[in-house]
Amino acid sequence: MRYFVVAFTLCILGGCGGFFLKDEIMKERSPEFWIKNAQQDLLKKLTTKLNLNKAKRMIFFLGDGMSIPTVTAARIYKGQMDGLDGERDSLSFENFPVLGLSKTYCVDKQVADSACSATAYLSGVKANYETIGVSAHVQKNDCLAAKIEKNQVESIAAWAQSAGLSTGIVTTTTVTNASPAGTFSHTSNREFESDFDIRAANKSLEHCEDIAKQLIFQNPGSNFKVILGGGRANFLPNFTKEGNRLDNLDLIKHWKSSKKSQANYVTDRESLLNIDVENTDYLLGLFNKGDLDYHLDSGCIQPTLEEMTEAAIKILQKNEKGYFLFVEGGLIDRAHHMNLAVKALDETVELSKAVQKAVDLTDEKDTLIVVTADHAHVMSMAGYPDRGNLITGIGTEMSPIDHLPYMTLSYANGPSSGHYTHEGHRDDLRQVNNIGEKNFEFPSLVPMEIESHGGDDVAVFARGPWSNLFSGVIEQSDIPHFMAFAGCVGNGLTLCSLDNDMK
């Protein structure tokens, strides 16, 4: 409802063919407008100094599936929802001083999934499709190879813990999903979130260890100060109302009993917001059986990504030595897989809010913040829609072939190819009455049960100490090494070891 109220209001203000304030476009007709804008941007860049401090705090934001077209469209979506000129609006992290591109391929795939990419951007080693925390010597489902220590790779979270820093993970998916699992897990199959999944795949429980169990019983997972997200079912036995575990283990109870200092477990938004930070050393929050709900579907029971990020920072910052925090906006990916572009853009805006909260709570002098994606998706932004046209609506151009309008946003493949008739002709989208609603499936070309990832490079936005390292086109596996250099963690070259060598 909010979407349509704002859209209708903007339509009245700016004209339904391009609904942004007309006085803005009048300004843009003047060359002086753009010259002044460029000179301001130039001055800003000229006065930006390199930050060569040590990164006491490192925050890694991951927009799962946040392709460059997703960032562009989300920027416009945000502006339009706020009643602004969407094209000239920006997401919080687009204001960061450094921008680069990351190459996302796996060792064995041109187009990555969230598992091999998590291994790259968290452990600094490229791996095979659907494997986590192991080298490319491990193939999918080879549990015995994944258990060999020399095939396992450590994440930057483990490096940070070894340096005395506190660590945490925050996600809108399950905390055992591929992206957050990259901080702590070693597995030959990302789907092995609980022992139930291993049994379902007809694999040996003796040879394969599930991700939830690794989080609770093994380092570095067992040492995380903060764990916030979904996935309660993977931690509870199947004889309980919400659990799916077959080994009768209550991993939540084990987590609580293993902590020698104050540990709190929360399951809803109110409990999280009322946490006594000063008297909380460890925090586990599991807010749903599976993934959290989309922001557009959620009520007041589940916390937002921004709220979880704030709670995590407030607890982790109590460590004077510093911290490493991983935060994932995981439902961008989920929405794209179903061609639900409105939800994908809204989840990107939610990630932007969480990034802004981190900026507000930290000091750029000693806090390195990196925002990137693990892989792209096949959503494109195309045609020649008028300025101010609803980004989630029908474009303002007609196809010269079939003389029908088309969406500004569409997908190369996915489950919504039904926008074509049985005769192979496209539907007249002007006759479709749910366009722009949160559950509208945007058109796709190739019919598939779920939309696929894209192989495009993804953006890397950086702010804080040594953020200049993230410019240019880099391998995705470079990212944790660059962060480790700035934060003086890990066994590679660091700022601190460089300083010592120079002395």
**Per-residue pLDDT reduced to its tens digit, 232-270:** 999 999 999 999 999 999 999 999 999 988 999 999 999
- Sign of the dihedral defined by the CA atoms of residues 308, 164, 186, 258, in that order: negative
How many other β-carbons are positioned within 10 Å of the β-carbon of residue 75? Answer: 22
Q: Residue 479, CB half-sphere, CA atoms under 13 Å: how many?
A: 36
Active site residue 162: no
Count CB neighbours of 314 within 10 A.
16
**What's the pLDDT score for residue 426?**
87
pLDDT score, position 503? 52
Q: Cα dihedral sign for 90, 95, 96, 97? A: positive
Say whether pLDDT at 65 is over 70.
Answer: yes
Catalytic pick from 67, 92, 102, 114? 114
Residues 9-18: what's their mean pLDDT? 39
Q: What is the DSSP string of 270-296?
A: HHHHT--GGG-SEEEEE-SSSSPPPTT
Helix 2-14 and helix 68-81: axis angle, to 10°? 80
Residue 9 pLDDT grade (very low, low, confident, very high; cuts 50, 70, 90) = very low
- Side by side, which strands form the sheet with 226-230? 263-266, 282-286, 226-230, 166-174, 323-329, 57-63, 367-373, 458-463, 98-103, 472-475
Q: 500: pLDDT confidence band, cut at 50, 70 and 90?
A: confident
Q: Which tens digits make up the pLDDT trace of 139-161?
A: 999 999 999 999 999 999 999 99
Question: Quick check: 369 and 94 in contact, CB under 8 A?
Answer: no
Q: Is the distance from CB of 368 to CB of 53 less than 8 angstroms?
A: no
Contact 351, 329 (CB under 8 A): yes
CATH superfamily label, 57-378+453-502: Alkaline Phosphatase, subunit A (3.40.720.10)
d(CA 295, CA 288): 14
15 — pLDDT class (breaks 50, 70, 90): very low
Structure tokens belonging to residue 99: 């921008």
pLDDT-derived band of residue 419, with 50, 70 and 90 as boundaries?
Answer: confident
Longest dimension (CA), the chain: 75
Local confidence band at 18 (pLDDT 50, 70, 90 cut-offs): very low
Ordered by start, the domain boundaries in the chain are: 57-378+453-502, 380-447
What would the pLDDT profile of 182-210 be if each residue is shown by its tens digit? Answer: 999 999 999 999 999 999 999 999 999 99
Mean pLDDT of the chain: 93
Share of the chain above pLDDT 70, in %: 94
The whole-number pLDDT of residue 17 equals 40
| Higher-confidence position of 169 and 20 | 169
Give the whole-angstrom CA distance, residue 270 versus residue 328.
Answer: 21
Q: Give the length of the chain.
A: 503
Residue 11 vs residue 263, higher pLDDT: 263
Evaluate if residue 20 carries a pLDDT over 70: no
Q: pLDDT value at position 420? A: 72
The answer to whether 460 and 67 have CB atoms below 8 angstroms apart is: no
